[in-house]
Chain A
Amino acid sequence: MSDKKNPLATLSRRGLLKGVGAVGALPLLNACGAMGQQGGGDARVVVIGGGFGGATAAKYLKRGNPNLEVTLVEPNEVFYTCPFSNLYLGGLREMNEIAHNYNELREVYGVQVIHQTAQDVDPVNHTVVLGDGTTLIYDKLIMSPGIDFRWNELEGYDEAAPQYAPHAWQAGEQTRLLRRQLEDMDDGGVFVLVAPANPFRCPPGPYERASMVAHYFSQHKPNSKVLILDAKDNFSKQGLFTAGWNEFYGDRIEWVGLSNDGRVTRVDAIRREVETEFGTLHQADVLNVVPPQKAGFIAERAGLTDDSGWVPVNPATFESTQAEDIFVVGDATIAAPMPKSGFSASSQGKVAAAAIVAQVAGETPPPAYFTNTCYSLIAPDYGISVAGIYRTTSDGEVETTSSGLSPSEADASTRALEAQYARGWYEAMAQDAWGTRY
Chain B
Amino acid sequence: MRKLQSLLALSLLALLAPAALADGSGWERHAAVAEAVGEATPQLGQLRMQMPSVSEDGSAVPLELSIDHPMSADEYIESIRVFATKNPNAEVVDFFLTPQMGRPEVSTRVRVNESQTLYAVAHSSTGEVYVASADIRITVGGCLMASDDDIAEFGQPRVAIPRSPSAGEPGEVRTLVTHPMETGLREGPDGEILPRRLLDTLVVEYEGDTVLTVRMHTAVSENPYMRFFMAPEESGQAVFRWTEEDSGDTVEEQATFNLS
Q: Which residues of A contact B (CB under 8 A)?
A: 34-37, 123-126, 198-199, 202-204, 232-239, 242, 258-259, 261, 277-279, 303, 306-308, 321-325, 334, 336-339, 341, 344, 372, 374, 386, 388, 390, 397-398, 400, 403, 405
Contacting residues, chain B, for A279 (C-beta < 8 A): 160
Q: For the complex formed, measure the closest distance between the CB of B226 and the CB atoms of chain A, giving whole angstroms.
A: 12
Residues on A with beta carbons closer than 8 Å to the beta carbon of B10 = 124
Q: Does B205 contact A (CB under 8 A)?
A: no
Binary flags per residue of B1-41, CB closer than 8 Å to A gives 1, else 0 = 11101101110110011010000000000000000000000
Given pairs A242-B147, A303-B13, 5 additional interface contacts (CB within 8 A): A259-B178, A277-B160, A372-B142, A386-B143, A388-B142
In angstroms, Cα B55 to Cα A202, docked, is: 16
Chain B min CB distance to A231 (Å): 10
Residues of A within 8 A of B56 (CB): 198-199, 336-337
CB of B223 closer than 8 Å to a CB of A: yes
**CB proximity of A236 to chain B, nearest CB, Å:** 4
CA distance A203 to B144 in the complex (A): 7
| Contact indicator B13/A278 (Cβ below 8 Å) | no
Count how many chain B residues have C-beta atoms less than 8 Å from C-beta atoms of the other chain.
42
Tell me which residues across on chain A come within 8 A of B222, comparing CB atoms: 233, 259
Q: Within the assembled complex, what's the spacing in Å between the Cα atoms of A125 and B3?
A: 9
Select which of B52, B59, B174 is within 8 A of A278 by beta carbon. B174
User: Are A338's CB and B147's CB within 8 A?
Assistant: no
Q: Which of A234, A278, A308 contacts B147 (CB 8 A)?
A: A234
Chain B residues with Cβ below 8 Å from A325 are: 5, 9
Residues of B participating in the A interface, judged by any CB pair closer than 8 Å: 1-3, 5-6, 8-10, 12-13, 16-17, 19, 52-57, 59-60, 137, 139-147, 149, 152, 158-160, 174, 176, 178, 222-223, 225
In the assembly, what is the distance between CA of A210 and CA of B141, in Å? Answer: 21
Q: How far is the CA of A34 from the CA of B222 in the complex (A)?
A: 58
Taking CB as reference atom, which chain B residue is nearest A197? B62
Whether A322 contacts B13 by the Cβ 8 Å rule is yes
Query: Cβ of A35 and Cβ of B176 under 8 Å apart?
Result: no
On chain A, the residues within 8 Å of B174 by CB distance are 277-278
Asked whether A339 lies within 8 Å of B142 as measured between CB atoms, the reply is yes
Closest to B59 in A: A234
**Complex contacts, B3 vs chain A, CB 8 Å:** 35
Q: Give the one of A203, A324, A325, A390 with max B CB within 10 A.
A: A324
Measured CA separation A372–B140 after assembly (Å): 14
- Which are the 10 A-B pairs with shortest beta-carbon distances? A239-B147, A259-B223, A203-B143, A339-B143, A234-B146, A388-B142, A337-B139, A336-B139, A236-B143, A238-B147
CA distance A126 to B178 in the complex (A): 54
Which of the listed residues B137, B141, B142 has the most CB atoms from chain A within 10 Å of its own CB? B142
Contact B2 A37 (CB under 8 A): yes
Task: Report 27 cross-chain contacts, Cβ distance below 8 Å, ordered by A residue.
Answer: A34-B2, A126-B6, A126-B9, A198-B57, A204-B143, A232-B57, A236-B144, A238-B146, A238-B147, A239-B147, A239-B149, A261-B158, A277-B160, A278-B158, A278-B176, A303-B17, A322-B13, A322-B16, A324-B5, A325-B9, A334-B54, A337-B142, A339-B142, A372-B143, A386-B142, A386-B143, A397-B137
Tell whether, in the assembled complex, residue A237 and residue B143 are in contact, meaning their CB atoms are under 8 Å apart.
yes
Complex Cα distance A109/B140, Å?
38
Q: Shortest beta-carbon distance, B171 to chain A, in Å?
A: 14
Q: Is there contact, CB below 8 Å, between A324 and B158?
A: no
Q: Which residues of B contact A204 (CB under 8 A)?
A: 143
A308-B52, A334-B54 known; A236+B16 contact, CB < 8 A:
no
Nearest CB in chain B: distance from A341 CB, A: 7
In the complex, what residues of B have CB within 8 A of residue A239's CB? 147, 149
